[in-house]
Structure 1
Amino acid sequence: MTRLNATRSDNFLEVITNRHEAGSVTDPLKKVLGAQVRDLRLARHLSQEGLAEELGVSTRYLAGIERGERNLTLDSVDALAEQLGVEARSLIGRR
């Protein structure tokens, strides 16, 4: 079995996440998640404060999620989806 050295695999991941060609990954999942959460909030006609209160998180924390700055665990995504009443995959699915 061949092992990749850390530098080579790090470079590979950087290339994958920074591609901007058609059909490639353009946004990190946390940005996709943030956009989905924001869209759900707006569809419910809620302010960030209102949704944050519903979710039991601070407004600042929710704002960080919506901006794609929070790196949530899969368990957190699952819990967030449950609180929002949607399937977890709908939060991370690309449009």
Structure 2
Amino acid sequence: MAKTVIKSYSLSEMKDEYIGEIGTLERDKYEYELSMDVLGRMIKTARKERNLTQEQLGELIGVKKAQISKLESSANSATIDTIIKVFKALKAEISFKVKIENKNLLVS
């Protein structure tokens, strides 16, 4: 009886194969959308930890409930200014990491 060998792949290898390698337009778009999705989830989690409704958070920063809902489902269309206002209203610390030519810059 022949032994079957199953090849395993890392997540990075799967992304390279099915989405595109790092630096390609498809991969950059995927990574950006994933980041915005994670950011939206962080906002939702922080809001719930503060026991605020979407409407209450919207009132704190001067936007409608629908905008908070949209932001939590994906932060794609949000401006940095809006995101900063949201985290300030939630009394949450936020920092940004910018990478320029293999040098990391942290902004908080």
> Which category of TM-score, normalised to the shorter sequence, fits these structures?
0.5 to 0.7
- 4+ runs deviating over 6 angstroms: none
Aligned residue in 1 for 2:25: 13
Higher helix share: 1
What is the Cα deviation at residue 83 of structure 1? 2.9
Name which structure has the greater RCO, CA cutoff 8 Å, separation 6+: 1
Tell whether the 8 Å contact from 1:34 to 1:67 is kept in structure 2 after alignment. yes
Q: Give 1:14's aligned amino acid.
A: E
Q: Give 2:91's aligned amino acid.
A: G
Change (3 A) 1:26 1:77: closer
Tell whether the 8 Å contact from 2:58 to 2:64 is kept in structure 1 after alignment. yes
Map 1:52-91 onto structure 2 (within 5 A). Answer: 52-68=58-74, 70-89=76-95
Q: TM-score by structure 1 length?
A: 0.59
- Point out the structure with max Rg over C-alpha: 2
User: What is the root-mean-square deviation in Å for CA atoms of aligned residues?
Assistant: 2.6
Change (3 A) 1:14 1:86: same
Moved more, 72-81 or 33-42: 72-81
What is the Cα deviation at residue 14 of structure 1? 1.0
Tell whether the 8 Å contact from 1:17 to 1:26 is kept in structure 2 after alignment. yes
Aligned residue in 1 for 2:43: 37
Change (3 A) 1:14 1:64: same
Identity of aligned residues (%): 26
Higher strand share: 2
Structure 2 residue matching 1:57: 3-state secondary structure: coil
